[in-house]
Structures are given as C-alpha cells and as structure tokens.
C-alpha cells in the first residue's frame, strides 16, 4: 500500500524548529539537495505507511541536528578552531572488504574513527554528561529496532552500536549522501547526486569531525574513515582533507555489484513494499560503472594520494594488509598496533552471524554483462 500524503520541506523545517526551539539553519545551500530528495521520495519511492512515518521522523531529526550544530558553534566558537587530520578515507565499491579493513585499522592506537553511536547522535543532549550515556542508550535501542525491521541485514553487514561506522552518516545531515538512494528508490535524486558540487557538504563533514573531537579532549589522533560514498567526490575529499589518502579496496564487480544490490533490497524493504530486485540491480550496476570511470579520472590527477588493497588479500592476510596500509599512511605499525589488530580479529569472529547468498540473475544482471561493463576497471586493478 502506498501513502498519498506527501513529505513537505517547509513542514519538515518547521517541525525541526519546534523540536529544538531554534531557527538558525546556517547557510541555506542544503535546501537544494533536500528539495531534490523530498521530490524524489514523493514521486518515486512508493513509501509504505510505516516507511513514510519513519522517513518523516528521520528527515526532521537530521534538520534538528543542523540547528543544534549551529547553536553549539555559536555558544562554543572554539569548536571551529579544532584541528582535524584525516589520515585516510577507505573507499571502493561496497562489499569489497572495506568494512573489515576499516574496523581493523580503527583498532590501531595511532588512529581514531567515527563510532556508530556518535554518527547517529553526534551532539550532546541537554544536560548530558561527558559519558554520553543517553545517546549510547538511544543508539542501542535504535539498533534493536533496525534489526527487527530488517532481520536479515545482520547476515549482510555486522553493525555494533559502539564500533566503528561510516562517516557518510554524518553527511546525511547535508542531504548529500549515498545513504538515501541505498535506503529508498530515488533514482532522480541519485542522478542529481552524481553531478552535484559536494564541496559544501564536505566542509560540513569537517565541522562534524571538529565537534566529535571537541567533545573528547585528547582525541587528537588522525581519523581513519570509510564509505563508498566518497567515490562520488574523490577530488573534493582530497582537497578538503589535505593530508588524506584514498585507500581503494578492489574486488570483482561480478561479486560486488549483486552483493550490494542484495543489501539495498534488504534496507529499502523497510520503507517500501515495492523493492524491485531487478530494478535495484540494474540501477546500481550503471551507477557503479559511472562512479569507477570518474574515479579513474580523478586518480590520474593525483596518483600519489592513493593506496590499493585487494579484497582477497584483506580476507586471507588481514594483519599483513593492515600493516602495509599503516606504512603507506606514514604510520608504521608497532607491537601495540599488532596486539590491537589481533584483538579485533578475535572480536570479529564472535560478532559475525550468518552468510548471505546471491547471484547476478536475482537482480537482472549476468556475469558476462558485468564483466563487459566493468572491463575498463577490472583490467587495471584486479
């Protein structure tokens, strides 16, 4: 069943203001991505009644965080002076071993990473102490609800409420994020995203990282971040974070594309009863081909800023790969790093749940077609 009630941007803005008692959203550049997203949600996403309510609540919360960010900066101007150093953004297509590599490197005492609870709730609640008890509790409750809405998701991607998580969730608050066309059928928004100037969004990502560091005195280590979204804005990432390298994870698109299509179907089924696997598979196949073509062009301009890691190596020799990446980042691994890596790998073995199976035909794809469409990439990097 599809709802007839439409999301309304002005209503969402008003709800966020009423929720927070604040009215200053800062620069209104975010209105364009928000308008495009809401239009696409209303005309394409076929939201279920539950999906509509969840989405309205989510967009309102994201807007409320924009208001609260500006208020925090106004009351604490020193936040804007916090120095942020990003050692690396781990990129690559989804399902290429980037999550394992990210969580492994995040265990290093030389680095820090965004955590699941803090990307969900990056700002202190009124009266909350430095231990962030309220936000951590809410993050656990939110994760429990998510697992109930999408019980198969844990077989696709292990999520731990207090473990490392993608920084793209911070970007959600800019409405410039791959999250939206992963959770919803919004191809018009996805097309807009691929051609958008993402510089304002990444300037705000920098501000969110400042806020996280400001809340944790002594958290002055370089960041190790991760999201496939950053493949859509490689030049912008490298320009905004001048010391950052792109760690590119490589796996055959014959495996990666249908695997991600399977994940998208699981996620989008929470919001719509019309999660068409064929439509999803063909959309992401086209999108990733275009993304990798753009990536190749960006890489050619600054080849010294890239580090390559292959999926098979990450799976078969993770400790060796982690040490090699640290070396490439100018942070040679020592005994403390090795001990942290070993501890994480043991933890990872206990966190993993079931496996998931998929095949290209399940998503309107074929191995031959994927091999042809991605030959330009596979011949160079695999």
CB 193 within 8 A of CB 232: yes
Is the per-residue pLDDT at 196 higher than 80?
yes
Alpha carbon distance 126, 274 (integer Å): 40
Is the per-residue pLDDT at 66 higher than 90?
yes
Mean pLDDT of the 23-42 span:
98
Mean pLDDT of the 147-168 span:
73
Distances (CA, A) of 16 to 6, 50, 286, 295, 376: 17, 20, 36, 36, 46
pLDDT band at 142 (very low <50, low <70, confident <90, very high): confident
Mean pLDDT of the 134-157 span:
75
Mean pLDDT of the 193-202 span:
96
For the ranges 34-48, 284-298, 341-355, which has the lowest average pLDDT? 341-355
Q: Which two tokens stand for residue 34?
A: 């928000």
Model pLDDT, residue 148: 72
Phi, psi angle pair for 157, to nearest 5°:
-155, 115
Model pLDDT, residue 2: 45
Model pLDDT, residue 153: 53
pLDDT in tens, 264-283: 999 999 999 999 999 999 99
Mean pLDDT of the 171-197 span:
97
pLDDT band at 382 (very low <50, low <70, confident <90, very high): confident
Phi, psi angle pair for 250, to nearest 5°:
-120, 130
Higher-confidence residue of 355 and 346: namely 346
Higher-confidence residue of 17 and 162: namely 17
Is the per-residue pLDDT at 58 higher than 80?
yes
pLDDT in tens, 120-132: 999 998 888 889 9
For the ranges 37-46, 126-135, 146-155, 223-232, which has the lowest average pLDDT? 146-155
pLDDT in tens, 210-268: 999 999 988 999 999 999 999 999 999 999 999 999 999 999 999 999 999 999 999 99
CB 63 within 8 A of CB 16: yes
Is the per-residue pLDDT at 1 higher than 50?
no
For the ranges 188-202, 218-232, 339-353, 362-376, which has the lowest average pLDDT? 339-353
Helix axes 318-328, 335-351, angle to 10 degrees: 130
Work out the mean pLDDT of the chain and round it to a whole number.
93
CA angle 273, 278, 281 (to 5 degrees): 105
Model pLDDT, residue 345: 95
Is the per-residue pLDDT at 354 higher than 60?
no
Domain boundaries, the chain: 9-80+87-381
Q: Which two tokens stand for residue 253?
A: 């698109």
| Rg of the chain (C-alpha set) | 20
Alpha carbon distance 280, 289 (integer Å): 14
**Partners of 164 in the β-ladder:** 115
**Domain 9-80+87-381: CATH class, spelled out:** alpha beta
CB atoms within 10 A of CB 292: 20
Model pLDDT, residue 134: 93
CB 77 within 8 A of CB 32: no
Higher-confidence residue of 3 and 20: namely 20
What number of residues does the chain have? 382
For the ranges 29-43, 97-111, 139-153, 219-233, which has the lowest average pLDDT? 139-153
């Amino acid at each position: 069943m599809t709802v007839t009630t439409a999301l309304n941007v002005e209503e969402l803005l008003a709800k966020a203001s009423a929720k927070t008692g604040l009215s200053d959203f800062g620069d209104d550049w975010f209105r364009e991505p928000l308008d495009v997203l809401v239009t696409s949600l209303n005309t394409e996403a076929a939201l279920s009644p539950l999906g509509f309510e969840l989405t309205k609540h989510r967009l309102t919360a994201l807007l409320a965080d924009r208001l609260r960010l500006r208020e925090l900066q106004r009351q604490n101007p020193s936040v804007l002076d916090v120095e942020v150093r990003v050692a690396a953004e781990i990129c690559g297509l989804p399902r290429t071993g980037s999550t394992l590599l990210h969580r492994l490197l995040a265990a290093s005492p030389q680095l820090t990473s965004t955590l699941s609870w803090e990307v969900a709730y990056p700002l202190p609640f009124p009266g909350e102490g430095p231990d962030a008890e309220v936000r951590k509790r809410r993050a656990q409750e939110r994760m429990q609800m998510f697992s109930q809405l999408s019980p198969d998701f844990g077989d696709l991607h292990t999520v731990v409420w207090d473990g490392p998580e993608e920084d793209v969730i911070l970007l959600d608050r800019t409405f410039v994020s791959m999250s939206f066309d992963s959770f919803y059928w919004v191809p018009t928004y996805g097309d807009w995203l691929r051609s958008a100037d993402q510089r304002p969004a990444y300037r705000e990502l920098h501000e969110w990282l400042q806020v996280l560091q400001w809340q944790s005195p002594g958290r002055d280590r370089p960041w190790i971040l991760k999201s496939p979204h950053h493949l859509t804005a490689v030049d912008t990432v490298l320009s905004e974070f001048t010391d950052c390298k792109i760690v590119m994870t490589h796996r055959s698109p014959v495996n990666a594309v249908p695997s991600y299509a399977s994940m998208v179907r699981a996620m989008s089924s929470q919001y719509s009863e019309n999660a068409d696997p064929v439509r999803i598979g063909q959309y992401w196949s086209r999108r990733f081909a275009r993304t990798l073509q753009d990536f190749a062009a960006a890489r050619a301009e600054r080849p010294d800023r890239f580090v390559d890691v292959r999926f098979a190596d990450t799976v078969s020799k993770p400790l060796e790969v982690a040490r090699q990446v640290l070396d490439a980042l100018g942070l040679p691994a020592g005994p403390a790093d090795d001990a942290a890596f070993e501890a994480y790998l043991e933890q990872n073995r206990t966190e993993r749940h079931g496996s998931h199976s998929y095949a290209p035909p399940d998503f309107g794809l074929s191995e031959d077609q994927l091999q042809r469409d991605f030959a330009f990439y596979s011949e160079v990097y695999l």
